[in-house]
Amino acid sequence: MSAMQRRKGAAAEREVLKLLGEELGQLLTRNLTQTREGGADCLAVKGWAIEVKRQERLSRPTWWRQAVEQAQRVGAEPMLLFRRNREQWTAWVHTSQGQWRQTDIVGAAQAIREKWLAWP
C-alpha cells in the first residue's frame, strides 16, 4: 500500500469517526495499531469493530468478510462503513440473524445505541 493510500484511508477513518461520534455524543478515535496487528479501524465503540473503506471500486463482500473476521477476533459485532468520492457514507451493520443490513451514519449510530441498551 502506498503512502498516499494510507493517508487517504486514515483521512476516511477520521471523517467517518467524527460523523459517527457526533451522532453518539462521543469522541471516537482510530485504532492506531491496526496496521501492525491487523485489527479493525476503530475499536473505541464498545461492542463493535468498525471497518472503514473509501474507494472508487467497491468490494463490499470482501470488505464485509474482513470486518466479520476482525470483529470475531475481538468478540465484537462487525460494522462496515464505506463510500466513493462525492457520495454519502453507507453502513453495513451486523444483524441478530448473522447477516447485514444497509443504512447510513444515523442508522449505524442507532444500531450501536440499540446494542448498548440491550446489555444488562
For the entire predicted model, the pTM comes to: 0.86
Q: Which grid cell is 40?
A: 479493525
Q: How much is the pLDDT for 27?
A: 86
Domains in the chain with CATH codes: 3-118 (3.40.1350.10)
> Count H helices, E strands: the chain?
4, 4
Average pLDDT of the chain, as a whole number: 86
Sign of the Cα torsion 104, 89, 101, 110 reads: negative
| pLDDT per residue as tens digits for the range 88-106 | 999 999 988 888 999 999 9
- Supply angle C-alpha 75, 67, 37, rounded to 5: 75
* pLDDT per residue as tens digits for the range 3-52: 887 787 788 888 999 999 999 998 888 765 554 445 676 767 888 989 99
Mark out the alpha helices in 25-104 (DSSP H runs).
34-37, 60-74
